[in-house]
């Protein structure tokens, strides 16, 4: 599906598991249907929220195939192809493109981090080899490194660099990045608590964990902003801060999977080293879901 005009709420989809650790494909299809019914504008699979770092290559492709087939062209499907080894990122990207993925998410090389030129070449190695739009992912809190202004300027000019997922949490960084936005290179917030501030700088929406549990709300907030109803978008952002913060009260995706299980959409199972949420965390998540009208 053409991603050219994609704006709004892109859900960073969880990967549901069964109690034995296998992928719950029925649950995955149920989540896709939930998002299609509630206005989600795009679906990202195999990101951090999808626990892809603990999945095999075969599982990655099986999840992507399941979502692509269930979506059936109704919204764009983006696949995470990140790795700290450049050749692995190239290989993952090629496999997803072969499946028919609409776009790719490419993360900075975590742990080994690299130097400036190495990070630039890490991205361009994939960008040069694919023919789908790619979103660059800046999340220094997870990776230990950031896309510098110099590299962002260079990468934004690449024809396959379609956008930036900005998840540093820094308004200063987002303001810098806004200088390089155009019709060919757009920004999405990677932080649910500052979507409206980043949209005021030119972001076209959010790649969202919050949308896992409240897809209609996140879609409407973005649509309101893009249609000019800034006051309504701001009100939605502020009214949902406790829910958003509760979904990050422990490391993502532990709280959001807890929330989805409480809502009856999936089983509450993780891949180690992730583990079940604490009693304090669960109480906070449940209270926030009730406060947002998502639980009875």
Q: Give catalytic residues, as residue numbers.
A: 137, 165
54 vs 9: CA distance, rounded Å: 26
Which of these, 280, 284, 277, lies nearest to 252 by C-alpha position?
277
């Amino acid at each position: 599906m053409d991603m050219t005009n994609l704006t709004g709420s892109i859900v960073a989809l969880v990967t549901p598991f069964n109690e034995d650790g296998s992928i719950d494909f029925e649950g995955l299809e149920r989540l896709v249907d939930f998002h299609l019914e509630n206005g989600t504008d795009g679906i990202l699979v195999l990101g951090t929220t999808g626990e892809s770092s603990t999945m095999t290559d075969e599982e990655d492709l099986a999840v992507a195939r399941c979502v692509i087939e269930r979506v059936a062209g109704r919204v764009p499907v983006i696949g995470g192809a990140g790795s700290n080894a450049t050749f692995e990122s190239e290989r993952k990207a090629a496999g997803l493109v072969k499946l028919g993925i609409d776009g790719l998410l490419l993360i900075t090389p975590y742990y080994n981090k690299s130097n400036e030129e190495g990070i630039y070449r890490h991205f361009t190695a994939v960008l040069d080899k694919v023919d789908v739009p790619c979103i660059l992912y800046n999340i220094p809190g997870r990776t230990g490194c950031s896309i510098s202004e110099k590299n962002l300027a260079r990468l934004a000019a690449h024809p396959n660099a379609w956008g930036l997922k900005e998840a540093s949490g820094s308004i200063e960084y987002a303001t810098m990045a806004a200088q390089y936005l155009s019709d060919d290179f757009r920004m999405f917030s990677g932080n649910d608590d500052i979507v409206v501030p980043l949209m005021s700088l030119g972001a076209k929406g959010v790649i969202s964990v919050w949308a896992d549990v409240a897809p209609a709300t996140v879609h409407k907030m973005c649509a309101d902003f893009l249609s000019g109803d800034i006051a309504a978008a701001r009100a939605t952002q502020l009214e949902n801060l406790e829910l958003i913060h509760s979904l990050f009260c422990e490391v993502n995706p532990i709280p959001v999977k807890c929330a989805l299980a409480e809502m009856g959409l999936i089983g509450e199972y993780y891949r180690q080293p992730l583990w079940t949420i604490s009693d304090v965390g669960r109480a906070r998540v449940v209270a926030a879901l009730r406060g947002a009208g998502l639980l009875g």
